[in-house]
Copies of this chain bind each other. A is one copy, B any other.
């Protein structure tokens, strides 16, 4: 997606509101959780205002920030704005970012130690460059932190262009893509594999590893 095709604020707000309705319908937006953003044509960022229900967003629930995360209007962005600007700075092809909460992501990151390995799923082909199920990916899991400096420093050490998702323990996950529909597909695909992993863990029984 070239700069010429990046959205203006009005179009980005539409895309973000649509994403919110779809994610809420799939149980990835409980209460006011999550935050969503898009890179705009003018280099600024459109981001959801803090504390709004993502399934019922209005246009004025989306605000603009500059590329360093400084608000350009008198509204409060998500406390996690720095995690969004980090992704935009690192990956020029990232134009839309979704951070969502889900039961499966919280339960799995709480039950398991270390990063999360997903192996053998046909659905792995959702990730860029993966063309077969005969592979695995290791999705970084970061310990939750309220200090974004701490959290973004951990994130910086592990995220790569090849795998545009990461998990935060007890919290949820991030996904980014060249446009908002594709970011939504990543969320649906990852959540689906997390739900599979959670079901497998329940079948296996026993205490958490």
Number of copies: 4
Closest to A170 in B: B120
Q: Please determine whether A133 and B123 come into contact, CB atoms closer than 8 angstroms.
A: no
Contacting residues, chain B, for A160 (C-beta < 8 A): none
Contacting residues, chain B, for A31 (C-beta < 8 A): 123, 126, 185-186, 188-189, 192
Contacting residues, chain B, for A196 (C-beta < 8 A): 103, 106-107, 110
Q: Please determine whether A192 and B30 come into contact, CB atoms closer than 8 angstroms.
A: yes
Q: Please determine whether A170 and B200 come into contact, CB atoms closer than 8 angstroms.
A: no
Contacting residues, chain B, for A186 (C-beta < 8 A): 31
The CA-CA distance from A189 to B31 in the complex, in Å, is 5
The CA-CA distance from A204 to B123 in the complex, in Å, is 28
Closest to A186 in B: B31
Cross-interface CB contact of A133 among B144, B189, B191, cutoff 8 Å? B144
Q: Mark A99-129, 1 if CB is under 8 A from B, else 0.
A: 0010110110011000000001111001000
Q: Does A207 contact B (CB under 8 A)?
A: yes
Assess A188 versus B103: contact at CB under 8 Å? Given A133-B146, A205-B205, A208-B204: no
Contacting residues, chain B, for A132 (C-beta < 8 A): 146
Q: Mark A139-174, 1 if CB is under 8 A from B, else 0.
A: 000001010000000000000000000001011100
Q: Please determine whether B32 and A121 come into contact, CB atoms closer than 8 angstroms.
A: no
Q: Mark A164-202, 1 if CB is under 8 A from B, else 0.
A: 000010111000000001000110110110011011111
Q: Show the binding face of A for B, using Cβ within 8 Å.
A: 30-33, 53, 101, 103-104, 106-107, 110-111, 120-123, 126, 131-134, 144, 146, 168, 170-172, 181, 185-186, 188-189, 191-192, 195-196, 198-208
Can you list 21 residue pairs at the A/B interface with Cβ under 8 Å? Answer: A30-B123, A30-B188, A30-B189, A30-B191, A31-B186, A31-B188, A31-B189, A32-B185, A32-B189, A33-B123, A33-B189, A53-B185, A107-B203, A110-B196, A110-B200, A120-B144, A131-B146, A202-B203, A204-B208, A205-B206, A205-B207
